[in-house]
Amino acid sequence: MWGSRFAEPMDPAARRMSASIGFDFRLAEQEIRASVGWAWALQHAGVLTQEESEQIRAGLALIGRDLAQPKKLWTEADEDIHTTVERLLTESLGPLAGKLHTGRSRNDQVATDLRLWLMDNLPALDEAVVGLQQALLDRSQSDLEILMPGYTHTQAAQPILLGHWWLSHFWPLQRDRVRLRAVRQSAAQMPLGSSALAGVPYPVDRELLAKELGFDGPNLNSLDGIADRDFVAEFLFAAALIGSHLSRLAEAVILFSSREFGFFEQADAYATGSSVMPQKKNPDVFELARGKSGPLVGALTGLLTTLKGLPSAYDRDLQEDKLPLFRAYDLLAELLPVLAGAVRALTVHPERMRAAVEPELMATDVADYLVAKGVPFRQAHDVLGRAVHLAQSQNTPLSELSLDELRGLHPAFEPDVAQIFDPRHSVARRTAIGGTAPEAVVAQIAAARRALAELPPRPEAVAAQLAEAQRALGERLSEP
């Protein structure tokens, strides 16, 4: 492709290391779509005649037909997907194919392709996140009123509803989706027309081309256009944070699935056994979810290290952007549906959960009971601390202290304190927004459903844009 200035062919090992076709073949569809757009833009800029443009687009259309099996399109001798498509087009059209490369460069092509790929594939990932959200939401609905201990510091703290707990893992994913949407916007700036670095020297209408390809607009500086990988870093960060959220959900489920907690039981379809211990049922799916937060963080850190200190608009180091992007994407695209299935398939043991709500968990409620009788909270807290100490020293539940014993600690206690030890009472008090009272959780479920509706996986605008780009591509392929 750059041959005539070079007297010697590339060293075979160097060539193998340098070639990217082994992974950038995944950009084939985007390469063809962007090329069709470019042929059309060159025609409108007067660089190609209508006939030339038509022929080129027809040639690209032919290549496009084999896209379902992109691995069949390329050979080891190709350097990258750009070389592949150019070779195939030349085999089909001869020297005319060489006109397509006017005014563009692999520098702006690869950045364009990668952005298009991400824009094309983000909706499916978003849907996978929604799939897990739906599973959490459905569990929340069906497990709504099951009482369980809420934990801080892995210590039982206060009673909550299981429905409330499930939802606490819904909202982080909703924030993740807001980030994915922002990634889409960062990706949707078109570099095509930046050429090698200085901009295209033909009167190409970049605004129109951007719109036709489904971008929000062209980038505004050609050097930045070929250098900018912010959108990859942003995606990897969003992916790492999704991984972080999944690791926290997974950790909790693993804990709750231990025999000692006994709250959850893994479904056979999502657990594995042991090659040695016949009695084992292991929560492998959740362990893998937790462990995979590692490679996701690693992909982000790796890209940031690669980007550090790059001096010129395009340096070959940037080739290292694709593998972490593809790997992080594939990892999540595979993991999320499995997790959704595993969440749905979990068996809950409400009686174990209820049994774990020991009377001590209502200590704060008892303190509040004193507050209601005019005791400052700090003093009430102190009284209850001593009550807990007393109960433990007697090896008795807190709720079994006699009224006399309680009065010995503070005179404000009265017989009605007994009902405070009912966890339903504790939960029912927390009706403020975000609280664990049944009606608050019902309201929260409704809010969650609204949030999903307001941020649909494939929003109208994007869907329309993609359809338009698809349609435009079709027309470009056929129109004069």
By CB under 8 A, what part of segment 298-337 binds a second copy? 298-320, 323-324, 334-335, 337
Q: How far is the CB of 458 from a second copy (least distance, A)?
A: 21
- Alpha-carbon torsion 313, 215, 89, 73, what sign? positive
If binding means CB under 8 A, how many residues of this protein chain bind a second copy? 200
Helices (H) and strands (E) in the chain, counts: 22, 6
Distance CA(324)–CA(361), nearest Å, equals 46
**Catalytic residue list contains 245:** no
Contact set for a second copy, span 132-151 (CB under 8 A): 150-151
Residue type, 149: P
| Long-range contacts of 430-435, Cβ-Cβ distance < 8 Å, separation of 24 or more | none
**Catalytic residue list contains 44:** no
CB 25 within 8 A of CB 84: yes
Q: Return the residue of 22, 71, 347, 376 that touches a second copy, per CB under 8 A.
A: 376
Contact set for a second copy, span 50-79 (CB under 8 A): none
Q: How far is the CB of 62 from a second copy (least distance, A)?
A: 19
Q: How far is the CB of 460 from a second copy (least distance, A)?
A: 22
Task: Examine residue 411 and tell whether it contacts a second copy (CB under 8 A).
Answer: no
Q: How far is the CB of 278 from a second copy (least distance, A)?
A: 4
In the bound state with a second copy, the residue whose beta carbon lies nearer, of 72 and 389, is 389
In the bound state with a second copy, the residue whose beta carbon lies nearer, of 143 and 365, is 365
Q: What are phi and psi for residue 358, nearest 5 degrees?
A: -75, 160
Distance CA(66)–CA(60), nearest Å, equals 11
Q: How far is the CB of 168 from a second copy (least distance, A)?
A: 4
Task: Examine residue 156 and tell whether it contacts a second copy (CB under 8 A).
Answer: yes
Q: What string marks each residue from 334 to 373 as x (binds a second copy by CB under 8 A) or -?
A: xx-xx--xx--x----------x-x-xx-xxx-xx--x--
Burial label for 136, CB within 10 Å (0-12, 13-18, 19+), is buried
Q: Which residue stretches of 346-459 are H helix?
A: 350-356, 363-372, 377-393, 403-409, 423-429, 438-454
Task: Examine residue 395 and tell whether it contacts a second copy (CB under 8 A).
Answer: no
Nearest to 195 by CA among 115, 101, 117, 321: 101
In the bound state with a second copy, the residue whose beta carbon lies nearer, of 278 and 480, is 278
Q: Return the residue of 125, 130, 332, 384 that touches a second copy, per CB under 8 A.
A: 384
Task: Examine residue 127 and tell whether it contacts a second copy (CB under 8 A).
Answer: no
Percentages (nearest 5) of helix, strand, coil residues in the chain? 70, 5, 25
Give me the torsion for CA of 60, 65, 71, 76, rounded to 10°. Answer: -30
Q: What string marks each residue from 5 to 44 as x (binds a second copy by CB under 8 A) or -?
A: xxxxxxx-xx-xxx--------------------------
In the bound state with a second copy, the residue whose beta carbon lies nearer, of 305 and 478, is 305
Distance CA(17)–CA(23), nearest Å, equals 12
Which stretch in 28-36, 69-77, 120-128, 215-223 sits in contact with a second copy by CB under 8 A? 215-223
Distance CA(126)–CA(178), nearest Å, equals 10
In the bound state with a second copy, the residue whose beta carbon lies nearer, of 65 and 454, is 454
Task: Examine residue 242 and tell whether it contacts a second copy (CB under 8 A).
Answer: no
Strands 147-152 and 155-161: antiparallel
Q: Which residue stretches of 156-283 are H helix?
A: 162-168, 170-187, 206-212, 222-227, 230-256
Contact set for a second copy, span 98-117 (CB under 8 A): 98-107
Q: How far is the CB of 202 from a second copy (least distance, A)?
A: 7
Candidate list 18, 258, 274, 478, residue with the active-site label: 274
Contact set for a second copy, span 260-289 (CB under 8 A): 260-262, 267-285, 287-288
Distance CA(184)–CA(375), nearest Å, equals 54
Q: Return the residue of 53, 55, 133, 168 that touches a second copy, per CB under 8 A.
A: 168
Task: Examine residue 462 and tell whether it contacts a second copy (CB under 8 A).
Answer: no
Q: Return the residue of 66, 145, 207, 351 that touches a second copy, per CB under 8 A.
A: 207
Q: Where are the beta strands (DSSP E) in 62-171?
A: 147-152, 155-161
Q: What are phi and psi for residue 295, nearest 5 degrees?
A: -55, -30
Task: Examine residue 3 and tell whether it contacts a second copy (CB under 8 A).
Answer: yes
Q: How far is the CB of 236 from a second copy (least distance, A)?
A: 9
Candidate list 92, 101, 142, 153, residue with the active-site label: 153
Catalytic residues: 153, 274
